[in-house]
């Protein structure tokens, strides 16, 4: 009876998230309802308190978001974007896969999918439209690539997988590095093929009032390098190329990057400090808030026995465990427009039991995180998709449909590379 009730609550939760009710509110309330039905009213509160004490996870997330806000304030992110765009202007229809790969690379530093969509889309989408590329393809090309953040060691999903698997963040990134590259190459090529088949790779005529106007923005190569400094420091340290850097935590690298932002731009230190902590606050309220509420939801599912039932089913049929760890978060990402909520719930509830399915927590956790992001990248209700579609002047659904083939193939590739190796 309780398991049936849990299934109903899960369906209602998904429905409310599809209707774009506030994610944290939906997850928290669903967890409370489940716990009350199971006669364990304190379980959600204990989960809430436990999540608030996740110091290691908290440190990584807030520092990354703080650094991103500093890059936005100093406009170093704009210099990087425009520097990369400069080489794309004369590649014709190949601008489609090139834009996908450039956005993916930029997203490793500008980790917010909506933020990256806004920053990159404002520049690359008009460029694609002016090159004759259809608006729906232009919007799709940007948003399809906004999961490159999973290659950033400080990204919330990476930090969560590392915590569950009890390994370092760099270990997680190294483990899924190849799978990520293969998936984005599949996404880029698939979108280009779709554009060619639909004859949307050229021939679009941009209305006169929307044509690109050259501005006086002068690219500074030094400023363009600054957003990449923290990631570079972490890679040099983790690989042992520069042994002293091995002691750097993710938060340390982000603070060093923010300091370089000050040195290169001479922006007011007071403004930099305010923006850094503004970003840190946003990270706690939005990203960490989802993680906390997802854990409350998971505790509710545990209380009514849903998690144990799913675990037992997976133990009995390992093939289901592998497939569900990819396509469960993938489908929820499409339906909810958020890859984080689906992946966090899965990684909190199921991934700790990975060894019982003959898998490692790191492989299973990365699969869920990447699959959730891939699903979100073809969701017509995702915030970033709506932003990109607004820039392009097309329907979010039209752009999402063009991303669908590539994201499905990419999800399959991630599943094979991480769980069938």
Q: Please determine, for residue 212, whether its predicted confidence score (pLDDT) is greater than 80.
A: no
User: What is the total count of domains within the chain?
Assistant: 1
Once rounded to an integer, what is the mean pLDDT over residues 315-319?
A: 66
Lowest mean per-residue pLDDT among 92-96, 208-212, 298-302 = 208-212
Once rounded to an integer, what is the mean pLDDT over residues 69-98?
A: 79
Q: Quickly count: other Cβ atoms within 10 Å of residue 205's Cβ.
A: 8
What pLDDT does residue 213 have? 53
Q: Please determine, for residue 27, whether its predicted confidence score (pLDDT) is greater than 70.
A: yes
What pLDDT does residue 139 have? 93
Once rounded to an integer, what is the mean pLDDT over residues 126-150?
A: 89
**Confidence band of 206 (pLDDT split at 50, 70, 90):** low
Higher pLDDT, 198 or 51: 198
**Confidence band of 420 (pLDDT split at 50, 70, 90):** confident
Once rounded to an integer, what is the mean pLDDT over residues 374-390?
A: 83
Q: Please determine, for residue 291, whether its predicted confidence score (pLDDT) is greater than 60.
A: yes
Once rounded to an integer, what is the mean pLDDT over residues 222-233?
A: 84
Once rounded to an integer, what is the mean pLDDT over residues 6-19?
A: 79
> Range of 103's domain?
2-419
Higher pLDDT, 173 or 349: 173
Q: Give percent above pLDDT 90 in the chain.
A: 22
Q: Please determine, for residue 44, whether its predicted confidence score (pLDDT) is greater than 60.
A: yes
What pLDDT does residue 415 have? 93
**Confidence band of 316 (pLDDT split at 50, 70, 90):** low
Q: Please determine, for residue 367, whether its predicted confidence score (pLDDT) is greater than 80.
A: yes
Cα angle vertex 377, ends 106, 410, to 5°?
Answer: 90
Higher pLDDT, 319 or 228: 228
**Confidence band of 239 (pLDDT split at 50, 70, 90):** low
Once rounded to an integer, what is the mean pLDDT over residues 265-291?
A: 82
Q: Please determine, for residue 374, whether its predicted confidence score (pLDDT) is greater than 90.
A: yes
Q: Please determine, for residue 285, whether its predicted confidence score (pLDDT) is greater than 80.
A: no
Radius of gyration of the chain from its Cα atoms, rounded to whole angstroms: 21
**Confidence band of 342 (pLDDT split at 50, 70, 90):** confident
Q: Please determine, for residue 126, whether its predicted confidence score (pLDDT) is greater than 80.
A: no
């Amino acid at each position: 009876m309780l398991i049936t009730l849990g299934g109903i609550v899960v369906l209602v939760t998904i429905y409310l998230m599809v209707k774009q009710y506030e994610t944290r509110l939906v997850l928290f309330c669903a967890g409370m309802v489940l716990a009350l039905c199971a006669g364990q009213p304190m379980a959600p509160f204990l989960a809430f308190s436990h999540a608030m004490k996740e110091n290691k996870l908290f440190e990584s997330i807030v520092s990354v978001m703080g650094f991103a806000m500093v890059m936005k304030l100093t406009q170093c992110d704009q210099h990087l974007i425009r520097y990369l765009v400069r080489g794309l202007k004369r590649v014709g229809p190949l601008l489609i896969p090139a834009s996908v790969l450039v956005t993916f690379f930029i997203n490793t530093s500008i980790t917010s999918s909506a933020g990256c969509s806004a920053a990159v889309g404002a520049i690359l989408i008009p460029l694609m439209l002016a090159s004759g590329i259809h608006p729906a393809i232009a919007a799709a090309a940007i948003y399809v690539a906004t999961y490159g953040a999973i290659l950033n060691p400080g990204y919330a999903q990476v930090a969560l997988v590392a915590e569950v698997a009890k390994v370092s963040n760099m270990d997680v990134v190294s483990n899924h590095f190849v799978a990520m590259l293969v998936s984005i190459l599949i996404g880029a090529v698939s979108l280009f093929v779709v554009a060619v088949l639909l004859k949307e790779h050229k021939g679009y005529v941009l209305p006169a009032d929307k044509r690109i106007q050259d501005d006086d923005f002068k690219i500074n190569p030094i400023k363009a390098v600054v957003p990449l400094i923290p990631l570079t420091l972490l890679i040099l340290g983790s690989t042992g190329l520069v042994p002293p850097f091995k002691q750097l935590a993710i938060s340390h690298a982000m603070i060093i990057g923010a300091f370089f932002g000050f040195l290169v731009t001479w922006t007011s230190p007071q403004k930099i400090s305010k923006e850094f902590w503004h970003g840190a606050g946003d990270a706690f309220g939005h990203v960490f808030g989802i993680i906390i509420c997802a854990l409350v939801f998971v505790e509710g599912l545990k209380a009514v026995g849903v998690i144990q039932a799913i675990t037992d089913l997976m133990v009995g049929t390992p093939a289901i465990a592998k497939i569900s760890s990819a396509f469960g978060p993938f489908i929820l990402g499409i339906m909810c427009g958020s890859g984080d909520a689906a992946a966090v719930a899965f990684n909190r509830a199921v991934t700790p039991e990975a060894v019982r399915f003959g898998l490692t927590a790191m492989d299973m956790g990365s699969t869920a995180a990447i699959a959730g992001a891939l699903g979100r990248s073809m969701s017509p209700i995702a915030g970033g998709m709506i932003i990109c579609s607004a820039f392009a002047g097309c329907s979010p659904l039209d752009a999402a449909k063009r991303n669908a083939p590539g994201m499905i193939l990419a999800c399959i590739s991630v599943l094979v590379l991480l769980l069938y190796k």
